[in-house]
Amino acid sequence: MNFEQVRIVLVNTAQPGNIGGAARAMLNMGFTRLYLVNPAAFPTDRATWRAAGAGQLLETATVCDHFDQAIADCHLIIGTSTRARRIPWPLQDPRTCCQQIAAEPPQRQVALVFGNEQHGLTNHELHRCHQHVAIPANPAYASLNLSAAVQVLTYELRLQILAQQNKPPLPPAPEHPPDDPPATSQAVENLLQHLERAMLGSGFLDPAAPRQTMTRMRRMFSRIRPDEREVQILRGFLASTEKSAKPR
C-alpha cells in the first residue's frame, strides 16, 4: 500500500471552506488525491484560504458531477457514516478500517468517502461502499466538522501505511545532540552540592531537618540525565541567585 492509492472523496460539500480544510488535513498526512462530487461552490477564495498552503491539492482536484464517476475505477470504497440504518451494514472503527485499507495490494485503488456536512452520505452512496466507518466520538456531541473527520481518518491511515511499509511515524531523535553530551558523574555531583548550598543559604533547606530533599534531587537528576549545557545553565542560575541574595 502507498499513499497515492488512496483518494479522498467529498460528496456534495456545502461549505467551500470545508474543502480547503480537508485539503489541508490531507496534505498534513501525506495524501494528495482529492475528488469533489458536485460541490456547492468550487473553486473559491474561501477554500484556498482554509487550505493554508495546501492549495496545490485544490488545483489538482478532480471534480465530478456524480458519485459513481468518482469511484468507478476503485477496488475498495469506504463510506463514513454516523446514522443507524434500517438494514445493518458492516461498520468499523477508524483503526480497524485503516488496517484493512493498508493491507490492500499496491495496484488497487481505494476511496475514502465523506458526505454532505448536514446529511452525510445518501443511502444510494452508502450502498456503493464496501464498508462503513464511524468515528467513536462523544455520544452527547458526536458532530464533527468535515475537515476534522478527514483529519482523523487520514491520520489513522497514515500510521497504518507507514507500519505496513516498516517505517516509523516519526524520525528517531538522538538522546543527546552531538554538541551536548551527557554531563559526567562529577559534573552532576558538583551541581548537587551547589544546589544544596543554595538551598541552605536561602533558608529553604533546614540543616537540622533536611528530610529526603537532596535524595529526591539526586534521584531526579539520575532520571533525567542532564547534558553538559543544562548543568552549566543550572550552575549559572544558582550562582546568580546566591550573588543577588548577598547583602550590599
H or E segment and range at residue 245: helix 228-245
Percent of the chain topping pLDDT 90: 74
Per-residue pLDDT, 175: 65
Q: Which domains are assigned to the chain?
A: 3-164 (3.40.1280.10), 185-245 (1.10.8.590)
The tens digit of pLDDT for each residue in 107-127 reads: 899 999 999 999 899 989 999
Is the pLDDT at 222 greater than 60? The verdict is yes
Query: Cell numbers of 158, please?
Result: 497514515
Is the pLDDT at 220 greater than 70? The verdict is yes
Cα distances (Å, whole numbers) of residue 140 to 95, 136, 137, 143: 22, 11, 9, 9
Per-residue pLDDT, 143: 83
Report the half-sphere exposure of 121 (CA within 13 A, side-chain side). Answer: 28
Higher per-residue pLDDT: 182 or 8: 8
Query: Whole-number mean pLDDT of the chain?
Result: 91
Cα 140 to its chain centre, rounded Å, is 24
Per-residue pLDDT, 177: 61
Q: Record the pTM.
A: 0.74
